[in-house]
Structure 1
């Protein structure tokens, strides 16, 4: 295979998988890691991929564009339903406390909560609160602050003050992007600040994210990878990436 053919194949594979490591590419094409790094440098200059620590992601993976709740509600719907059902395993027992981040997957978890389990629930999300408000077993607290239209989430100083005083059993956290190098990230500074405070307030952090989020890096990091206890995702995450996450001490659940 000529270098140009190999590079084109690499670009296509990275686009399909979402993220590929240098080692995996070297094994895939039977070349040295130094050759792979040179190929990735060429593809990066051409704008076909973006080099990240230890490998590469598609050129579209590094983004500050944020989809609204309506758009996200209709993407990866089957995967999100499975993830939400699997995440119920990590609910605290009756009398426990749970925090719900804003997001379409966390909203699905909220809709599935059993009515016979009394829980204290906190959220900054209007859609999540709407679902929890009809559950007679839930003692609900809605965080205040400025509501971002794109995510329907309360952000700002008021939400941060309340979160600073909380300690919950479990936090279900959503993310726009996740890698072992950059951690969890999102496009907005205010939303990142609230997510960061949520992670800090929880005894156990359960991230719920479909596989399209894994291997991507977004504008603002709100948590490092070692702050996650569990990742609930779908079967679309490459095995090499799953191994990286497990090596970081994360329990990876495939829904």
Structure 2
């Protein structure tokens, strides 16, 4: 097969499948991985796809922009509220330490914890927890709850997300340990895992993942299939994914199948559809 025809087919396969890998393409076309890398470089330069680690994604699926906190807080609001309420049931036992990273879904999750504690209903109240966060919003939301001992990580405040980031913040998390980390994400694919457009926020997320016994990802359906520049966790790092019923069925199924094979330790959870309306 001529290289031009092979590259045309690679571009088409990328658009259809959402992501292709070097190894898969090499096997399909019977050429070396180095040949495929050269093909991807040519297609990337021509704007027909975007190269990522180990393969490529369609240009429209790969994003490097960062949406403001105000804009993100309005997106998929009902789904995020349902995800937050479902995630409360995954909180660990009293006395545990929990990481919660900065983000709109994790912010709504913090509100759900505060609301549960304010009810004074023993059946609804969240366990007494030590909360470690790099979010100004989450820290202030939970600080007044008598059932939450809140520690705000120190460092540089990023105005766009109200997140504390930087080397100091990353080092602080590196000497701590959490029983569970609740992590938001800007994007999720099976191949590239969880990703974000900002390297500093990605470093914080990565540190939380690395220093937790279990990781729960809060990810609404609009994030599935997107791919951002900075990958901070693989699917294998995640113990549970809490999402809404609109999450793409193929990706949802592949995540669940990974769990059944032991590659996804834990379970894949969906927020009940009735809570989304």
TM over 0.5, yes or no? Answer: yes
- In structure 2, relative to structure 1, the CA distance for the partners of 1:186 and 1:21 (3 Å cut) is closer
Q: How many residues align?
A: 225
- Residues of 2 paired with 1:241 and 1:128: CA distance? 30
- In structure 2, relative to structure 1, the CA distance for the partners of 1:78 and 1:54 (3 Å cut) is farther
Find runs of 4+ consecutive structure 1 residues off by over 6 angstroms: 43-57
Deviations 1:190-236 (A, max 9, x none): 11111100001111100001111111110111112211111111112
- Residues of 2 paired with 1:229 and 1:85: CA distance? 18
- Aligned residue for 1:253? 269
- In structure 2, relative to structure 1, the CA distance for the partners of 1:62 and 1:101 (3 Å cut) is same
- Residues of 2 paired with 1:189 and 1:54: CA distance? 19
Q: Which of residues 165, 170, 177 in structure 1 aligns to 2:180?
A: 170
- Residues of 1 paired with 2:56 and 2:205: CA distance? 26
Deviations 1:140-177 (A, max 9, x none): 00001001111110111211121111111111001111
RMSD of aligned alpha carbons: 2.8
- Residues of 2 paired with 1:141 and 1:156: CA distance? 17
Displacement of 1:53: 9.8
Displacement of 1:247: 2.5
**1:208 pairs with 2:218:** yes
CA contact (8 A) 2:99 2:131 kept: yes
Q: What pairs with 1:234-253 in structure 2 (closer than 5 Å)?
A: 234-249=244-259, 250=264, 251-253=267-269
Q: What pairs with 1:1-255 in structure 2 (closer than 5 Å)?
A: 59-113=59-113, 114-115=116-117, 116=125, 117-249=127-259, 250=264, 251-255=267-271
Which structure 2 residue ranges, 5 or more long, are not aligned?
1-11, 21-27, 30-39, 118-124, 272-277
Displacement of 1:46: 9.3
- Aligned residue for 2:274? none
Q: Secondary structure at the match of 2:89?
A: helix
Displacement of 1:108: 1.0
- Residues of 2 paired with 1:157 and 1:56: CA distance? 30
TM-score (norm 2): 0.72
TM-score (norm 1): 0.78
Which structure 1 residue ranges, 5 or more long, are not aligned?
1-9, 23-32, 35-40
Q: Secondary structure at the match of 2:102?
A: coil
- Residues of 2 paired with 1:203 and 1:82: CA distance? 25
